[in-house]
Amino acid sequence: MKRCALLLLPLLLAACGGPGSYAEREDFQSDPRHRRDFPTAAAPLCDAARRVLLGDGYVVLPGRDALTFSGAKEFRVDDKGHAQLRLHLACSEARGGATLFVTATEEHFDVKTTRQSTSVGVPLVAPISFSSSTEGDNQVKTRGETVAARDFYERFYRAVQRELGGRE
């Protein structure tokens, strides 16, 4: 009996451990989806990437300096929901040119209706009660994740290369 309990103990402890952390899985290895080297200086590279986003209808917001910025574009999903594609970009000088770092996130939002009612009364003193109800629509983020599709990033890098004038 004691042996059986000792064999089951590790299984029970593993089951109670809860979900793993995403941070524990990070190994900080460079991913070619999120970086591309170009044979140009960082400022013209960032300008080309900015023009690509502006030309495709993205709203471009400046970052902390001229070499960082983000772009966002919204898509209607249905009558109550929309999705937002957001790109975060940074350009950095590198040996023989510059590196463009890109991370894209996709977030989905939905409209949720909330109802709240309150009733206050003192039935023993007087048959009077006061009630109030409110109803409102709130935007709620339903999901979000980093875009992992390699072809998405490749299409973006090709567009930046075209904007730079086809220089490789």
Residue 156 lies inside a defined structural domain of this protein: yes
Residue 97 lies inside a defined structural domain of this protein: yes
Rounded Cα distance, 49 and 157, in Å: 8
Q: Which range marks the domain in which residue 106 is found?
A: 31-120+132-163
Residue 74 lies inside a defined structural domain of this protein: yes
Residue 18 lies inside a defined structural domain of this protein: no
Residue 72 lies inside a defined structural domain of this protein: yes
Q: Residue 113: is its pLDDT beyond 90?
A: no
Burial of 52 (0-12, 13-18, 19+ CB in 10 A): buried
pTM: 0.71
Residue 63 lies inside a defined structural domain of this protein: yes
Q: What is the mean pLDDT of residues 16-41?
A: 81
Q: What is the mean pLDDT of residues 15-21?
A: 61
pLDDT digits (tens, 9 = 90+) for 47-62: 999 999 999 999 999 9
Residue 19 lies inside a defined structural domain of this protein: no
**What pLDDT is recorded for position 164?**
95
Residue 155 lies inside a defined structural domain of this protein: yes
**What pLDDT is recorded for position 123?**
65
User: In the 8-state DSSP scheme, what is residue 58?
Assistant: P
Sequential DSSP letters for 137-163: EEEEEEEEEE---HHHHHHHHHHHHHH
pLDDT digits (tens, 9 = 90+) for 91-112: 999 999 999 999 999 999 888 8
Q: Is the separation of the CB atoms in 109 and 81 below 8 Å?
A: yes
Burial of 68 (0-12, 13-18, 19+ CB in 10 A): middle
Q: Residue 138: is its pLDDT beyond 60?
A: yes
Band the pLDDT of 85: cuts 50, 70, 90.
very high
pLDDT digits (tens, 9 = 90+) for 153-164: 999 999 999 999
Domain CATH code at residue 48: 3.30.530
Alpha-carbon distance values, 98 to 40, 41, 46 (Å): 6, 5, 9
**What pLDDT is recorded for position 168?**
44
**What pLDDT is recorded for position 157?**
97
For β-strands 81-94 and 59-62, DSSP reports them as unpaired
Element (H, E) at 115: strand 97-121
If one counts the domains in the chain, the total is 1
User: In the 8-state DSSP scheme, what is residue 87?
Assistant: E
